[in-house]
Structure 1
Amino acid sequence: MSELLKVDNLIKNFGGLTAVSDVTMHLNSNELVALIGPNGAGKTTLFNLLTGVITPSSGSVVLAGKEGTFPLNNKKAYQIAKLGLSRTFQNIRLFKEMTVLDNVLIAMTSRYKEGFVSSILRFPSYYRTEREMKEEAIKLLKIFSLDQQTETLAKNLPYGIQRRLEIVRALSTKPQILFLDEPAAGMNPEETADLTRLIIEVQKEFHITVLLIEHDMSLVMQVAQRIYVLDHGSLLAEGSPKEIQQNPAVIKAYLGEEA
């Protein structure tokens, strides 16, 4: 595996509060990594730093992409997305009044550039691009068993299916790295089991790197190859699922007691 994302000494201060403290970590190509920790550990803040939602106070984030090495520190979220980093959010952020298909098509527009004149005058290239996008979107939806609901409004989907659509939308940008922020939040056991299978299939089918924040430890232990543990903004441990389960410092952070 080659190193795909390198994070060095990352710090984020909000006034007198240090939300992320001197975090150094890496993600390899084509691996599934989990980021876990108690509530308030700084996991989502770290995600926001890595995806350009907020800027770090110090430290560096560097992507070793297919076309070279790219520092991400001063880039906007949309610029980082174009470089191949895509994410879902803890709170679902679909366009609720739009159809399943349109939610995916909107995400794909960053990859399909059609000139202003062509769009206004509806040149043949405009219709060709429109057709290609729709075909690609439906093909992707079919993988996730959503191709029969293309005209359904996102707000009318069951909660678990909305989560699935959000993952499809993130994948439609063809990312190198997919960040999933608590995808099982609010799901019942059956939905969580379906999601577990889906995450494994996504990583294998698309050959991408996945970084997952999740509180459901049964899901994490089933899907993760490596795990980072964050506590009070600092990295507490890193290792395989078995190593993390047996780590006394991790047990203490979660349970408040020695192993």
Structure 2
Amino acid sequence: MALLTVNNLTKNFGGLAAVSHVSMSVEENELIGLIGPNGAGKTTLFNLLTGVYEPSSGDVLLKVGGKEERLNGIKPYKVADLGLSRTFQNIRLFKDLTVLDNVLIAMNSKNKEGFLTSVFRLPKFYRTEEMMTTKVKELLQIFGLDSKMDTLAKNLPYGEQRRLEIVRALATQPKILFLDEPAAGMNPQETAELTQLIRKIQREFQITIVLIEHDMSLVMDVCERIYVLEYGQVIAHGTPIEIKNNPRVIQAYLGGDL
């Protein structure tokens, strides 16, 4: 049983099929790439997998406690609670909050304190707050953001904002981390640092990563398997070498030269 199974997933917007009969599987601790031309349906597929959109047909199945749970129609916050977390093409930080508070908000989604404990600030509330703050500081240290914890998110350089968004997603303790074009807008040095960061995340956190990315050098460098979308359909699936040498992929997306 795969960690995540997608069966014939389709999403229609009026008469347009943005995603059409997509099937794929994701195993535990895998690093999967999802590539394709602009408008191929990659972000729409992410939105279907993380509860932002409800499929027109097909199924999204997540392994939970040794059995498969259907995610169709489940709200995004419940999907996140089941262990699916994501970043977005356009950075979505709380720009007027500090680095520390951005991550604390995410980690607080796992806080199961009762209503009375929170409202009346009982001793357990402060113990939980202290524990979460310690964990957030440890996360920020791992990703080199501990010296910026009191900095407003909007004052971080672009590359560090991207890194903070990833840290915030990790704070929800996901089983699967979906990264939507994390290298978008980065210079070559920042992209190289991101490549190392993605490897570090998988190695140290032992989680599955699914990555949308247009930077083919990054995709080919870090991904174990790759799915290729065109016009909302999977046209190829395989290892980086298989994808690199696939004639249909070259014709549809890579332009004959990688």
CA distance in structure 1 between the aligned counterparts of 2:66 and 2:167, rounded to whole angstroms: 25
Report the CA distance between 1:255 and its aligned residue: 4.9
Instruction: Please tell me whether the aligned partners of residues 248 and 258 of structure 1 are also in contact (alpha carbons under 8 angstroms).
Output: no
Matched, 1:36 2:35: yes
Specify the alignment match of 2:50 in structure 1: 51
CA RMSD of aligned residues (A): 1.4
After superposition, the Cα gap between the structure-2 partners of 1:218 and 1:97, relative to the gap in structure 1 and judged at 3 Å, is: same
C-alpha distance after superposition, 1:106-155 (max 9, x if no partner): 00111112222222222110110000000011011110011111100000
Specify the alignment match of 1:182 in structure 2: 181
After superposition, the Cα gap between the structure-2 partners of 1:90 and 1:198, relative to the gap in structure 1 and judged at 3 Å, is: same
CA distance in structure 2 between the aligned counterparts of 1:254 and 1:181, rounded to whole angstroms: 18
Specify the alignment match of 1:156 in structure 2: 155
TM-score (norm 2): 0.97
The aligned amino acid for 2:42 is K
Instruction: Please tell me whether the aligned partners of residues 29 and 209 of structure 1 are also in contact (alpha carbons under 8 angstroms).
Output: yes
Q: Percent identity?
A: 65
C-alpha distance after superposition, 1:157-176 (max 9, x if no partner): 00000000000000000000
Runs of 4+ in 1 over 3 A off after TM superposition: 255-259
Aligned residue pairs, count:
258
Specify the alignment match of 1:216 in structure 2: 215
Instruction: Please tell me whether the aligned partners of residues 55 and 73 of structure 1 are also in contact (alpha carbons under 8 angstroms).
Output: yes
C-alpha distance after superposition, 1:56-114 (max 9, x if no partner): 00000000124642100010100100000000000000000000000000001111122
Specify the alignment match of 2:167 in structure 1: 168
The aligned amino acid for 2:53 is I
SS at match of 1:114: coil
Specify the alignment match of 2:70 in structure 1: 71
The aligned amino acid for 1:126 is F
Instruction: Please tell me whether the aligned partners of residues 252 and 258 of structure 1 are also in contact (alpha carbons under 8 angstroms).
Output: no
Instruction: Please tell me whether the aligned partners of residues 104 and 169 of structure 1 are also in contact (alpha carbons under 8 angstroms).
Output: yes
| Structure 2 unmatched ranges of 5 or more | none
Matched, 1:245 2:244: yes
The aligned amino acid for 1:208 is I
After superposition, the Cα gap between the structure-2 partners of 1:135 and 1:256, relative to the gap in structure 1 and judged at 3 Å, is: closer
| Structure 1 unmatched ranges of 5 or more | none
Report the CA distance between 1:258 and its aligned residue: 11
After superposition, the Cα gap between the structure-2 partners of 1:257 and 1:210, relative to the gap in structure 1 and judged at 3 Å, is: closer
SS at match of 1:74: coil
Report the CA distance between 1:225 and its aligned residue: 0.2
Specify the alignment match of 1:60 in structure 2: 59
C-alpha distance after superposition, 1:44-66 (max 9, x if no partner): 00000000001100000000124
Specify the alignment match of 2:139 in structure 1: 140
